[in-house]
Homo-oligomer: A and B are copies of this chain.
Amino acid sequence: MSAPTHTVPARSGRAVPLPAGATLEIINPTGDQVVDTWALCPPDLDEHLSMEHTRTALGRLVPRVGDTLVSDRRRPLLTLAADTSPGVHDTLIAACDVARYRLLGCVDHHDNCHDNFHHALREIDLAPPPVLPAPLNLFMNVPWSADGELTFAAPPARPGDHVQLRAEVDLVVVLSACPQDILPVNGRHLTPTEIHYRVTTP
């Protein structure tokens, strides 16, 4: 398990090829940093990790350790193999984008997970699909109430908390260190940070 640790700089994204059987460990250095996460099935990037199909398969809003997440064709793609955090993640909220920050009052350009997804795929010479899939928002804290109200809250994870995702098929995983600094999505200090990851093969 001496796989090298890689860094995704604050406010940016990376695409990580993940062969079947390999495990991706995603580390939250501060505990406060949300990681927007996608998985795609090359060569057909129209097949991707799907939050609505995963909720349907699990009968649950948020996956737990042992759960297998599925594609929009209901194929098992990733298993949540380990999670040292309190298990608070989000499957409900869209990735941030230029339009989102404009609605939040930004006049100038704002880094965003939509663009990070596109840049990350282009860096490894893949053409992004025309529609951005809904992300798995690791460490994101969006509590729901009994009557369905949603709140954007600070993550309850601790420094160094990490999750492990095991690939059930050959995948490309895209990670974005979410640059949200207007809502407390990335902690009360509104300071997005880098994230770390490690790939281990069996």
Chain B residue numbers with a CB within 8 Å of A50 are 94
Tell me the smallest distance from the CB of A53 to a CB of chain B, in Å.
5
Within 8 A of B (CB), among A121-159: 129-134, 144, 146, 148-151
Q: CB distance A134 to B134 under 8 Å?
A: yes
Contacts of A52 in B (CB 8 A): 51, 92-94, 134
Name the prevailing secondary structure of the A interface residues. loop
Tell whether, in the assembled complex, residue A60 and residue B149 are in contact, meaning their CB atoms are under 8 Å apart.
yes
Residues of B within 8 A of A134 (CB): 52, 134
A100 is contacted by which of B61, B74, B97, B146 (Cβ under 8 Å)?
Answer: B74
For A61, A94, A99, A132, the residue with the greatest tally of chain B CB atoms inside 10 Å of its CB is A94
Q: How far is the CB of A113 from chain B (nearest CB, A)?
A: 12
Residues of B within 8 A of A133 (CB): 131
> Is A81 an interface position by the 8 A CB rule?
no
User: Are A148 and B94 in contact (CB-based, < 8 A)?
Assistant: no
10 sampled A-B residue pairs with Cβ under 8 A: A50-B94, A56-B93, A56-B94, A59-B151, A60-B150, A72-B94, A74-B97, A74-B103, A92-B92, A130-B130
